Amino acid sequence: MPGLYLGAILFSMVGMMLIDWKYSLALRVAPWRTVLTVVAGTVFFLAWDLVGIVTGVFVKGESPLFVGIVLAPHLPLEEVFFLLFLSYLTVVMFAVFERRSRARARNADATGSGAAGRSGSDAGGRSGSDAAGRSGSDAAGRSGAEAAGRPGTDAAGRPGAEGRRA
């Protein structure tokens, strides 16, 4: 069926545009920047393709799914639409990951785990341990009994070293 490949690319492009429009990812937010980026990406990849064609790396295979319009030797019409789709997909996915990153940073700040999103660490990335590798109350130089507030017991309430009988 001639044109099936081009139809699949255009169908995918329309689907990507609908997702972009619904979630305001790229085209609604910055239309000129999106168009310029997609065109620049497409031109770059077309130049890449032309270099590959000239050096013999890329050759066009025959398929009944192609429309049959060839823009240059070994460069079918579908290639341009595929590169447009690839560039647009890249812009949209970048916007998705950027939005997720900002949301995670916002959530990390709201929960108080620090700007870097490290849980159990202070702002400098240090966990609650000292140079000897002790953590918690040991790092503060207190025994478990002192940390638990009960003399003679450890943090779990068991008799500590002071409360044990020989």
Phi, psi of 159 (to 5 degrees): -60, 130
Predicted TM-score (pTM) of the model is: 0.65
Which of 85, 3, 1 minimizes the C-alpha distance to 41?
85
Q: Which two tokens stand for residue 106?
A: 């916002």
Span 16-73, pLDDT tens digits? 999 999 999 999 999 999 999 999 999 999 999 999 999 999 888 889 999 999 999 9
Q: Which two tokens stand for residue 4?
A: 């099936």
Span 75-134, pLDDT tens digits? 999 999 999 999 999 999 999 999 999 999 999 888 876 555 454 444 554 445 455 555
Residue 139, Cβ density class (10 Å: 0-12 exposed, 13-18 middle, ≥19 buried): middle
Sequence ranges of the domains in the chain: 4-110
Chain centre distance of CA 135: 33
Q: What pLDDT, on a 0 to 100 scale, did the predictor assign at position 147?
A: 47
